[in-house]
Amino acid sequence: MNGLKHELQIDLMDWREAAPLAAPLRQRVFVIEQGVPPELEMDELDTVCRHAIARNVAGEVIATGRLLPDGHIGRMAVEAAWRKRGVGGVVLEALVAEAAARGMREVALNAQVHAEPFYRRHGFAAEGEVFMEAGIAHRTMRRQLSARA
């Protein structure tokens, strides 16, 4: 994965900048692939979030995620051809670093159950029961942040 970081450009930005980059990918992953209703996928919270955008060496957007002001991470999406290659982890760690830089003591997310092992590998611990969100099984997960994270 170390080499992967050099092949990716990760930018953190507000929704005004991120929308044309993140929205098409989120549409493909959440609405088309996973069947999430479009009205649930895009929401008013996008405008108050910091968005991570990952691009490959060709400049194509291949992954995205967002950090809410309360420390929740969400809307993690990776282009199908780039999955299982460490891209999601790089985006996740960029969002965690942003949270730490903003003085947050923890981050939380609602992980799709099939993705729990991925988040565990990045220091997140599951809590509570499985619940349904947009017709998909999820579980809340949290990660404590150190003062120097």
Which DSSP symbol is given to 21?
H
Q: Which helix (H) or strand (E) holds 20?
A: helix 15-26
- Residue 19 backbone dihedrals phi, psi, to 5 degrees: -50, -50
Beta bridge partners of 131: 138
Side chain identity at 16, as an amino acid letter? R
Q: Cβ of 24: how many Cβ atoms within 10 Å? A: 12
Average pLDDT of the segment spanning 22-26: 97
Q: What's the pTM value of the predicted model, to 2 decimals?
A: 0.91
d(CA 16, CA 29): 21
pLDDT of the residue at 7: 82
Residue appearing with tokens 């959440």:
30
Instruction: Tell me the pLDDT band of 147, cut-offs 50, 70 and 90.
Output: low
Residue ranges covered by each domain of the chain: 2-104
pLDDT of the residue at 1: 45
Structure token pair of residue 1: 């994965």
Instruction: Tell me the pLDDT band of 6, cut-offs 50, 70 and 90.
Output: low
Which DSSP symbol is given to 84?
T
Which DSSP symbol is given to 48?
G
Q: Cβ of 35: how many Cβ atoms within 10 Å? A: 10
Average pLDDT of the segment spanning 115-122: 96
| Record: fold of 2-104 | Aminopeptidase (3.40.630)
Q: Is the pLDDT of residue 2 over 80?
A: no
Structure token pair of residue 111: 């992980």
Instruction: Tell me the pLDDT band of 149, cut-offs 50, 70 and 90.
Output: very low
- The most distant pair of C-alpha atoms in the chain lies apart, rounded to whole Å, by 41
Q: Cβ of 118: how many Cβ atoms within 10 Å? A: 16
Structure token pair of residue 51: 């968005």
pLDDT of the residue at 132: 94
Average pLDDT of the segment spanning 139-145: 97
Q: Is the pLDDT of residue 31 over 50?
A: yes
Q: Cβ of 79: how many Cβ atoms within 10 Å? A: 17
